[in-house]
Chains A and B, each alone.
Chain A
């Protein structure tokens, strides 16, 4: 396959490019880049005027649900959702059944990704930090790393015990794997379904106090100070004080990174008053001040990455009483639109910075090689129309699940295609 990508704006922080360029791609490899290239008729022309070409985006926090919960999502449908949302790679969390706490499961998930997408979407498993995600015994971290796990996490649950967290940080430091913490002090959140604050008081809902997130991060930062070779990453950071803890730890040069989810910079806890269970996730929607802090954290670099915490649940599971509904929403297909609408259009991030949050930084965190848009490199690309205005229709999602609070939202900016390992969804 020979492609002539014409007049796209190439934004590649790895090579410092941000200009309108033509690109010739032959069999999945970038053959030539430059201005006003010419190509013979064997090349299929794709006009990318007003579109952006970036290194392929990665969502470093998704739940693919396979193995074990295939009624919610499979690796195939999850990857289709990723592709539709503009991602050429995902890191999937280990809260499957069985959990990804054994090398065979790591290989299964990784290989299934290759098999079902034929290389269009790379699946990088994050393995459980402790056996069965129970927080009691170390998982076989060396074997998991060897099998291809790119990070360690008990996500969905915190690594709650300080003693266990110390061991995980120490042991993982031998392999350079990041420890991804779902920060929640569990003795403070039992029964909680929404952010504890004025809105939970008004609605009479059991609260999840912001301090439960902040305490766990503060504790881990102190631990990290004692184990400086470890890498620590805060998943779905959501409160102003938590962000401030990370900001200070970064100033002290600790190996700490953080990600934020689009719903935490676009929605507030007041939305829960609709009793729509698609407003129920963990960490919960927080206050207006927290939303502003997430945006500022993204702007000043305290928050390195945008990751969706894509968490599929079926309609039957979600259409129940609020307190009974499972936590989580799908996010892959709305992430770019929400980010451009809320961050780029409102001048928190430039498009260039946005690209860093979706590819360079998350790849660095999980230790994957950077994607370069250069001659001779494999074309691993995301194509975005930053000006496309569209209305979210959850029924059109490629994900098996439709649990999104963003249905009918009007967004600006959308991925219009991806390319990876010789497959291009633009043609």
Chain B
């Protein structure tokens, strides 16, 4: 049970077989999460460091719980900002990790490519927990797991990712992963938050929710970062909510129920209305549970392969 790579840096280029292996493994770990004692021994004796250069609560907790449930020894390292601003280079940090005999590194960093850089300079397995605006592979894997659970397959499933596509690593990883698994992916958001040539990634682009809602099985609603408005990329939260906010009124016009996903944390009644977030077709909390199972699966597969 080996992946093609020693690291999980992103989903671009990861094969269907590898994604399926991770999702299948995650399903069996989800069973573990239902037990009274939620701990298994496969990573006993392994040391994992969570290197978070960018603040994150839920992703870090999710990784940490996954690591502990696999019986790994866990060290957390949190530092705001770039290596340059804190005075030690990423390379030096990496060398220190190496010297401390760490087996696996989970890294979140505001700079695209930081995990790739790290993977070149350390012997440990590297797991990308989000790099810049590039990739967030475990988020996309948990999204795919959630959809596969609900629909049985990802092949032919129609998913629209809504919001700030330009700055979203969740969007990129979902596009890469879902396309590999045979899903039909579309994106919808304001033109100023839409990256150029995104259609060349094999997705359809929409600028009106009403145009795509009747044609999808699931909406993956992205968190809108409030600072994007401050930097002038869209005029106001009110206008954003009105035109790109996913609301009950809009989804009720679809011919059949639409699954609602969100990577969290939600800006309630901005990108997603509260009634939908808490409604019967929301799988948002299921995503959180699956996130733990998926991260256990990734760490397990990487940590136990040769």
Q: Name A residues whose Cβ lies closer than 8 Å to a Cβ of B.
A: 196-198, 200-207, 275, 316, 319-324
Contact = CB atoms under 8 A, between A and B. Distances in A.
Contacts of A201: 195-198, 200-201
Contacts of A200: 195-196
Contact of B91 (A196, A198, A320): A320
Q: Chain B CB within 10 Å — which of A198, A201, A204, A320 has the most?
A: A204
B222 to A, nearest CB: 13
24 contacts: A197-B196, A201-B195, A201-B200, A201-B201, A202-B201, A204-B112, A204-B131, A204-B135, A204-B172, A205-B112, A206-B133, A275-B113, A275-B117, A319-B91, A320-B82, A320-B83, A320-B84, A320-B89, A321-B83, A321-B84, A321-B109, A322-B111, A322-B114, A324-B84
A200 B201 CA distance: 12
B134 interface: yes
Closest 8 CB pairs of A and B: A275-B113, A204-B134, A321-B111, A204-B133, A201-B195, A198-B197, A323-B111, A322-B113
B83 A204 contact: no
Given A202-B12, A203-B134, A321 B195 contact: no
Contacts of A196: 196
B90 interface: yes
Contacts of A275: 112-113, 116-117
Interface in B113-136: 113-114, 116-117, 131-135
B169 to A, nearest CB: 6
B194 to A, nearest CB: 9
Contact of B200 (A198, A205, A322, A324): A198
Contacts of B198: 201
A203 B169 CA distance: 9
Interface of B: 12, 82-84, 89-91, 109-114, 116-117, 131-135, 169, 172, 195-198, 200-201
Contacts of A205: 112, 132-134
Given A203-B113, A204-B134, A275-B112, 18 more contacts: A200-B195, A200-B196, A202-B12, A202-B201, A203-B134, A204-B112, A204-B133, A204-B172, A205-B133, A275-B117, A316-B89, A320-B82, A320-B83, A320-B91, A321-B82, A324-B82, A324-B83, A324-B84
Contacts of A319: 89, 91
Given A198-B196, A201-B197, A321 B133 contact: no
Nearest to B167: A204
A203 B83 contact: no
Contacts of A206: 133
Contacts of B134: 203-205
B204 to A, nearest CB: 15
Contact of B113 (A197, A198, A316, A321): A321
Nearest to A190: B231
Contacts of A203: 112-113, 134
Contacts of A323: 82, 110-112, 132
Q: Chain A CB within 10 Å — which of B89, B91, B112 has the most?
A: B112
Contacts of A322: 111-114, 117
A320 B90 contact: yes
A177 B170 CA distance: 52
B196 A321 contact: no
Contacts of B91: 319-320
A140 to B, nearest CB: 35
Nearest to A315: B91
Nearest to A316: B89
Nearest to B12: A202
B228 to A, nearest CB: 13
A203 B90 CA distance: 20
Nearest to A201: B195
B56 to A, nearest CB: 17
Contacts of A324: 82-84, 111
Contacts of B131: 204
A198 B172 CA distance: 13
Contacts of B110: 323
B132 A204 contact: yes
A224 B84 CA distance: 41
A203 B195 CA distance: 11
Nearest to B171: A204
A207 B82 CA distance: 19
A201 B134 CA distance: 9
A205 B114 CA distance: 12
Contacts of B90: 320-321
A361 B132 CA distance: 43
A366 B206 CA distance: 51
A322 B90 CA distance: 11
A98 B198 CA distance: 44
